[in-house]
């Protein structure tokens, strides 16, 4: 019998969702302002509080997937209706040989919607939906909540609503886009407290740092308009995962992990090859006394005890995993994204983990994510 494999990062993006996901779950007074589908220039588009957020059943309105992986997915029978249909999604997991999947949802809402009430209603509606969606097979589908970033009070309130004493979701995605202060700021203490108490693992996903860099889209509108210079976008594709370094260091050095030993942090789809270098650098500066008054624990130990990171086809990181963070790295397919590895996950795993012993392979593909989310 083949080993069971869990994907630590899959997606259910806005453009795949049914049209009434938000309107049917929001107060009457906000139904025209939460995301809804409208016809714009002959195309169905998601609109939130008057701002275009992307295409419906199409990748940012661009229609069929045309790159190599997109064509491979279509050859295997994938269609845009699959991700939001639990039966079809589970069938796709079976095709790929995946036993369970962690599912991330809508992103960059606060790029488009600015009103806090509409933001909160949008996230509440999605979180209610993903909890219902995963009920189709709760042992295989692990939903991640969306957490508002416009204020620590709203973030903490939604974590308490979706956590162990509420909807029972095991993780929350925190896209720190247009945040009032950096993630290391003391104002975010309610976020850390709520996540620790509710046993909600907090994820910082690839791309969350846009607007703080000089390459790639600075907001969702630039991405929709495809107005980014080719060189800028090409550089973005190469370095976007590495841009999680600031978030990792900031969360660690602000002391949140030490103050809350049960807090779990995930760097989702960040890949992992860069992390050993950063941990060595952090440890060096710690030994030199640069972090005096910030943290008392060696940074690499904090990472090993309370932080995780996911990857798809990072051979360098996989080879370094046993030495630097054997219990913290988690493989993922990134289904159904074009830069993911569905339906060839097992081939990619074999290529990426070539030379690793069975114990290490099992940690990366099953045990680490199981411990992260306390899966049965």
Is 81-373 a CATH 3.20.20.140 domain? yes
pLDDT value at position 48?
Answer: 97
DSSP 221-246: HHHHHT-S-HHHHHHHHHHTTGGGHH
pLDDT value at position 210?
Answer: 47
With cut-offs at 50, 70 and 90, classify the pLDDT of residue 62. very low
Q: Which of 15-29, 69-83, 253-267, 319-333 has the least mean pLDDT? A: 69-83
**Mode of pairing for the β-strands spanning 51-55 and 36-40:** unpaired
The per-residue pLDDT for range 157-209, each reduced to its tens digit, is 999 999 999 999 999 999 987 788 889 999 999 999 999 999 999 999 997 75
pLDDT value at position 223?
Answer: 56
The residue extents of the domains of the chain are 81-373
Q: Do 145 and 130 form a contact (C-beta atoms < 8 A)?
A: yes
Q: Do 169 and 131 form a contact (C-beta atoms < 8 A)?
A: yes
pLDDT value at position 237?
Answer: 78
Q: Do 129 and 35 form a contact (C-beta atoms < 8 A)?
A: no
pLDDT at 234 over 80: no
pLDDT value at position 220?
Answer: 54
Q: Angle at which helices 315-324 and 275-287 pack, to 10 degrees?
A: 40
**All residues at 6 or more sequence positions from 229 whose CB lies less than 8 Å from its CB, including other chains:** none
pLDDT value at position 239?
Answer: 83
What is residue 138's three-state secondary structure? coil
Q: Do 328 and 287 form a contact (C-beta atoms < 8 A)?
A: no
**All residues at 6 or more sequence positions from 320 whose CB lies less than 8 Å from its CB, including other chains:** 272, 273, 276
With cut-offs at 50, 70 and 90, classify the pLDDT of residue 18. very high
DSSP state of 105: -
The per-residue pLDDT for range 336-365, each reduced to its tens digit, is 998 899 999 999 999 999 999 999 999 999
DSSP state of 346: H
CA distances from 179 to 113, 211, 254, 373 (A): 13, 11, 16, 26
């Amino acid at each position: 019998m083949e080993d069971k494999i869990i994907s630590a990062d899959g997606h259910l993006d806005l453009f795949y969702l049914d049209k009434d996901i938000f309107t049917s779950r929001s107060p009457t007074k906000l139904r025209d302002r939460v995301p809804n589908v409208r016809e714009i220039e002959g195309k169905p588009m998601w609109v939130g509080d008057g701002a275009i957020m992307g295409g419906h059943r199409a990748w940012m309105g661009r229609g069929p997937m045309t790159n190599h992986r997109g064509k491979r997915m279509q050859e295997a029978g994938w269609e845009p209706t699959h991700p939001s249909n639990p039966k079809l999604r589970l069938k796709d997991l079976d095709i790929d040989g995946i036993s369970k999947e962690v599912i991330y949802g809508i992103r960059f809402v606060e790029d488009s919607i600015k009103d806090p009430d509409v933001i909160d209603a949008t996230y509440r509606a999605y979180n209610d939906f993903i909890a219902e969606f995963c009920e189709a097979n709760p042992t295989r589908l692990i939903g991640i909540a969306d957490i508002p970033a416009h204020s620590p009070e709203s973030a903490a309130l939604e974590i308490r609503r979706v956590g162990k004493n509420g909807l029972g979701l095991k993780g929350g995605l925190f896209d720190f886009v247009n945040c009032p202060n950096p993630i290391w700021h003391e104002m975010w203490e309610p976020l850390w407290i709520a996540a620790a108490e509710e046993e909600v693992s907090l994820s910082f996903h690839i791309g969350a740092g846009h607007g703080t860099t000089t390459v790639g889209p600075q907001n969702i509108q630039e991405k929709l308009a495809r107005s980014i210079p080719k060189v800028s976008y090409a550089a973005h594709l190469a370095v976007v995962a590495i841009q999680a370094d600031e978030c990792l260091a900031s969360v660690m050095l602000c002391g949140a992990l030490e103050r809350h030993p049960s807090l779990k942090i995930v760097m989702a789809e960040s890949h992992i090859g860069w992390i050993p270098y950063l941990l060595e650098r952090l440890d060096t500066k710690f030994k030199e006394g640069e972090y005096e008054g910030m943290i008392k624990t060696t940074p690499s130990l904090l990472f090993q005890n309370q932080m995780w990171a996911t990857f798809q086809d990072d051979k360098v990181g996989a080879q370094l995993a046993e030495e630097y963070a054997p219990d913290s790295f988690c493989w993922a397919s990134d289904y159904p994204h074009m830069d993911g590895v569905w339906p060839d996950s097992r081939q990619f795993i074999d290529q990426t983990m070539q030379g690793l012993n069975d114990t290490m392979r099992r940690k990366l593909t099953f045990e680490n994510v199981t411990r992260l989310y306390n899966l049965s």
